[in-house]
Structure 1
Amino acid sequence: MNYADILIPDSAACRLALEVATEFHTTSLLNHSIRAYLFAAAYGQENAIAFDAELLYVSAMLHDLGLTKEFDSHTVAFEAAGGHVAWVFGAGAGWPAERRKRAAEVIVRHMWAEVDVNDDPEGHLLELSTAMDISGRQTDEIPEPVKNEVLRLYPRLDLVEEFTARMTEQGTRKPDSVAGGFIRAGFVANLAANPLNFRSV
């Protein structure tokens, strides 16, 4: 599989979601969000997983907005805050309530340890792709031509330092959140050791 084979949806909602992510994310986090979609879609296509490309794309673009100062919440975990943003975004995009709910679910579930592909293919793919890009899980299952081109087009830049700082801050302030558990479990070391950090493209 090559980069050109990846299904990239081009709906109004997708274009607006990219615009939102570009407005509120640093380039490092924006590139992470784009890579999350591309790795998810590539894996889904390679493994014959049927998925809603628009739903997955929008969820990938918005999944980390809860880490930004504009959308950070002092009352809920960052993934829940991001899910709320996605629900509101979906309402503005004219999505029916059930589709807005699905976007929020996909974003919340990207922080789960595992999402059943049969119950939620988009949640499964986003959970896996974000784990690939952040902690380095199953990166060997990304086709090499896809991996090389995605990292060339959307480099990691300061992702390790920035994501470490943001997740550590979330985990410290919200110790009962999934982020808090990740920090205690050695997330920072996993991020630093991600093999994607050491590829030259």
Structure 2
Amino acid sequence: MPESSGLPDLPRTPAATAALSVATRYCSPALLNHSIRSYVWGVTYAGAHGIAFDDELYYVSALLHDTGLTEPFDSHSLPFEEAGGHLAWVFGVAAGWPEARAARAEHVIVTHMRADVSAAEDAESHLLQVATSWDVAGRRPEEFSEALTGKVLDRYPRLDFATEFLAWFEDQAERKPSSAAARSVESGGRLRISAHPLDV
């Protein structure tokens, strides 16, 4: 059920609660809010398009998808989404998930930085791709109403997310030139992030 604010409830399973604790400890306030917004955008998009998905799996993936950008989990060689995927696998197994379910969270996080996948092919990966591409780069604005956007930003404000995220992306691109982050920067990612309609 949605909250009284009209936003979807955050899952409260043991794994979901633990994922929020991990994200709260290791992510900056701006990155934490981005991760929660990514869940909310994805859930509302799924509802609008009739996409069935695993709510707990999607929430855990959304909460942990950028942990590979944080200093404790930033790999010296792996792209941040792969580092975050490994963390999600470890988290899932430690939370009592079967290895196959933990591997699904890893896959969703890695895939969100890859070529688009359809909802029919992989619902959770599709939702995270749509949600993060909107929240980071302003893509598909027609999917998210002004009323919804206002409620989400009131509850989970952007803070200095664009500045922080651009710095992380450019750092990733410089240190890992073959990564998806580097390709994004090379293809105009700096401008898309800096000119996000929610920040101007």
TM-score, length of structure 1 as denominator length: 0.95
Q: 1:10 deviation in Å?
A: 1.5
Q: Letter of the 1:38 partner, please give it.
A: V
Kept in 1, the 8 Å contact 2:7–2:152? The answer is no
- Structure 1 counterpart of 2:34: 32
Kept in 2, the 8 Å contact 1:66–1:72? The answer is yes
Distance 2:195 2:7 in 1: 29
TM alignment of 1:13-52, pairs within 5 A = 13-52=15-54
Q: Letter of the 2:11 partner, please give it.
A: P
- Structure 1 counterpart of 2:82: 80
Distance 2:115 2:56 in 1: 24
Partner of 2:71, secondary structure, is coil
- Structure 2 counterpart of 1:179: 181
- Structure 2 counterpart of 1:146: 148
- Structure 1 counterpart of 2:64: 62
- Structure 2 counterpart of 1:8: 10
Q: Structure 1: which 5+ residue stretches go unaligned?
A: none
Q: Letter of the 2:178 partner, please give it.
A: D
Distance 2:97 2:145 in 1: 33
Q: 1:4 deviation in Å?
A: 2.3
Which of 107, 110, 130 lines up with 2:109 in the alignment? Answer: 107
| Cα RMSD (Å) | 1.4
Kept in 2, the 8 Å contact 1:3–1:146? The answer is no
Distance 1:75 1:137 in 2: 29
- Structure 1 counterpart of 2:159: 157
Distance 1:27 1:156 in 2: 9
Distance of aligned partners of 1:5 and 1:151 in 2 relative to their CA distance in 1, 3 Å threshold? closer
